[in-house]
Amino acid sequence: MLLILIGSFALFTYLQPDIFLNPVNLQNIMIASPEIGVIAVAMMVAMLTGGIDLSTVAVANLSAITITTLYSSLMASDPARAAQMMPFIVLLGLVVGLAGGLFNGFLISYVGIAPILATLGSMQIFNGLAIVWTGGKTLYGAPEELAAVGKAGVLGMPTTFIALLVIAGLVAIFLNKTSLGRKTQLLGTNPVAARYSGINSRQVLMSTYMLTGLLGGCAGVLFLARNPTSSADYGSSYVLLVIVIAVLGGTNPAGGFATVTGVVLATLTLQTVASGFNAIRLSAYEYSIAQGAILILVMILDQASTKRKLNKGLNKANWFKKKARK
């Protein structure tokens, strides 16, 4: 994935150096990546268990709508109190995301509904709630402090991009350094072995989907930091995009293996390609073709690598058999 990112960057630098290497364009790549990257990390966590979470974008929208509605209502009645309550309102938005994940986890782990159907149904419910809540209109009046954070930067990097790196780092630590994270990976690798190892699959699945819901809430906050408005249909095209990013980043759709670093690199790669296509004046439809082509290329390379490792293992096994016969 790193090679594809470097190759994409080099290609568009060669084709349109004045536009692509413009500091504003590079900033835009980093500004556009965080919300998509966090949702892709959430998708990766769900896919790690062998499931999927189609509702993450809808959860992010509900979180953003909650924050905007409460803050604008307080601003209309008591601006001073609204400023004081802003951190608690943002926290409540994250709680909304956590509640959405809890609902998904209950449907999947206790009711026994397949993840793709459970999260498809919850996505429709959350989208419907958002439309009823907003009346189908765009809401204005998100916390100005969030917008200020979104415009700020450290060493040339937007704070929202730094937030993506921090969130990704925390998820990586959770998956690789905690007992629950290792159980999540084992459950995706072999559910039967996980059950016989004494792992409570219901508890693991519940925790996993609560985490994806919380990440959705974080994405909702990043939405508002980049654009201080919220609506029911914001990011409707992200659902398929984040699935592509998760798979591009090395996530096994069947579960058991994923890398957070790969997902972040895949996010940057697709944002680089999107920016490059804008620089050379190609359409969004051609960008969709490029997404599919990159995904297929990575899958072909992955399959070739897997077959090569398998053949190498078989050849070594045959060599040992021949030595044993001698």
pLDDT, position 37? 94
Coil, strand or helix at 153: strand
Q: Pull the structure tokens for residue 27.
A: 């900033």
Indicate the average pLDDT of the chain.
Answer: 87
CB-count exposure of residue 105 (10 Å: 0-12, 13-18, 19+)? buried
Calpha distance 247→47 (Å, rounded): 9
What confidence tier does 29 reach under pLDDT thresholds 50, 70, 90? Answer: confident
What confidence tier does 231 reach under pLDDT thresholds 50, 70, 90? Answer: confident
DSSP assignment string, 159-176: HHHHHHHHHHHHHHHHHH
Model confidence at 213: pLDDT above 80:
yes
Model confidence at 56: pLDDT above 90:
yes
For a pLDDT cut of 70, what percent of the chain falls above it? 94
Q: Mean pLDDT across the stretch 188-206?
A: 86
Model confidence at 320: pLDDT above 60:
no
pLDDT, position 13? 86
pLDDT, position 81? 84
Nearest to residue 89, comparing CAs of 227, 216, 99, 81? 81
Q: Mean pLDDT across the stretch 240-267?
A: 89
pLDDT, position 303? 74
Max CA pair span of the chain: 89
Condensed to tens digits (0 to 9), the pLDDT of residues 236-251 reads 778 888 988 998 888 8
Model confidence at 52: pLDDT above 70:
yes
H or E element: which one contains 304?
helix 284-325
DSSP assignment string, 90-102: HHHHHHHHHHHHH
184 near 255, Cβ under 8 Å?
Answer: no
